[in-house]
Amino acid sequence: MSDSTAIAHGAPADAHEEHPSYLRHHFNSVEQQSDATNFAMWLFLLTEIMFFGGLFTAYLIYRNWYYPAFVAGSHQLNVVWGTLNTVVLICSSFTMAMGVWCAETRRRRGLVLCLSLTFILGLCFLGIKGIEYREKFEMHHVPGQHYSLQSFLDPQSNPEVYAEYHDKPLALDMARHTEIYFSLYFALTGMHALHMIIGIGILGFMIYRARDGAYTAGHTTFVENFGYYWHFVDLVWIYLFALLYLISRHQ
């Protein structure tokens, strides 16, 4: 282990031959740069999994303990809106994937179109979510001081839901636990919506830059990495849809 061979054996950095403007100074090659940033994005998504993981753990435990309350709570959700939102998000994932393809094949107008469609679909999702939240607010299903147990103690007070599921009234004790269900519902969908809002903000920034051809000159890493993020957020929603809306649709 001699002390100075490390430098003596050094070879001149060979990055000078091809040095595109988007290659940051500290990388030796474009491959290294896109490799590193892609890897960083995957790691970031891993932290996101752990972040949502805490909530999913809470969901699992309480669902195990208070299954009837969770079923009754789930029946109060509007499965039509939920399904529609799932479709909206899957479509936005498709337009996002098309956007990445457009960037890779250097189609500037196609990229702007795809990103704009994704942007609009994202806003649609939030709009529909807003309608659902308003329904919950009106029904006093938002946890906290004004939370009401009426729909669970007396299911016939909400004729639409009753007509569909014929829920039996819950005992007071179990009915109280529905508040846990709605706590988790709002925490999970709220955190998901927050991610959507951040994503839509970044999309706006990307559309602005894509119009000048920033991502269609060979450097597509940013669009690609954002695509990972967007698909991840969609994927979280698919789980939420199954766990929150579809707990017990059968009779």
Partner 1 sequence: MSDTIVSLPDQSTARIPKVNYLNKENGLLSWLLTSDHKRIAILYLISITFFFFIGGALAGLIRLELLTPQSDLMATDTYNKVFTMHGVIMIFLFLVPSVPATLGNFLIPIMLGAKDLALPKINLLSWYLYMAGGLLALYTMMAGGVDTGWTFTTPLSTHYVNTNVLTTGLAIFIAGFSSIFTGLNFIVTIHKMRAPGMTWFRMPLFVWAHYAASILMVLGTPVLAIAIVLVALERTIGIGVFDPAKGGDPLLFQHLFWFYSHPAVYIMILPGMGVISEVISTFSRKRVFGYTAVAFSSVAIAVFGFFVWAHHMFIMGISNYAVLVFSLLTMLVAVPSAIKIFNWAFTLYKGSITFETPMLYAFGFMGLFTIGGMTGVFLGTSGTDIHLTETYFIVAHFHFVMVGGMLMAFLSGIHFWWPKITGRMYPEKISQLAAVVTFIGFNLTFFPQFILGVLGMPRRYASYPPEFQILNVFSTAGATILGVGYLLPVLYLTWSLKYGAIAGNNPWQATGLEWQIQSPPLTENFTELPIMDHEA
Distance CA 17, CA 30 (A): 12
- Among 58, 120, 153, 247, contact with partner 1 (rule: CB under 8 A): 58
Task: Tell me the per-residue interface mask from 103 to 132 with partner 1, x by CB under 8 A, - otherwise.
Answer: ------------------------------
Interface with partner 1, residue 7, by CB under 8 A: yes
Q: Which residue has the tokens 């457009």?
A: 102
Distance CA 240, CA 76 (A): 15
Distance CA 53, CA 174 (A): 26
CB 240 within 8 A of CB 188: yes
Interface with partner 1, residue 43, by CB under 8 A: yes
**Interface with partner 1: number of residues (CB under 8 A):** 55
Task: Tell me the per-residue interface mask from 166 to 195 with partner 1, x by CB under 8 A, - otherwise.
Answer: ----------xx-xx-xxx-xx---x----
Nearer to partner 1, 181 or 230 (CB): 181
Distance CA 170, CA 153 (A): 5
The neighbour count for residue 46, using CB atoms within 10 Å, is 10
Nearer to partner 1, 25 or 168 (CB): 25
Interface with partner 1, residue 214, by CB under 8 A: no
Residue 146, both tokens: 């004004």
Interface with partner 1, residue 54, by CB under 8 A: yes
Interface with partner 1, residue 5, by CB under 8 A: yes
- Among 26, 64, 138, 251, contact with partner 1 (rule: CB under 8 A): 26
- Among 22, 23, 48, 106, contact with partner 1 (rule: CB under 8 A): 48
CB 217 within 8 A of CB 106: yes
Interface with partner 1, residue 16, by CB under 8 A: no
User: Between 67-75 and 172-210, two packed helices, what is the crossing angle to 10 degrees?
Assistant: 60
DSSP line for 185-250: HHHHHHHHHHHHHHHHHHHHHHHHHHTTTTTSSS--HHHHHHHHHHHHHHHHHHHHIIIII-TT--
Q: Which stretch binds partner 1 (CB under 8 A): 27-35, 126-134, 225-233, 237-245?
A: 27-35
Judged by the rule CB under 8 A, the positions of this chain that interact with partner 1 are 1-7, 9-14, 24-26, 28, 32, 35-37, 39-40, 43-44, 46-48, 50-55, 57-58, 61-62, 65-66, 69, 142-145, 176-177, 179-180, 182-184, 186-187, 191
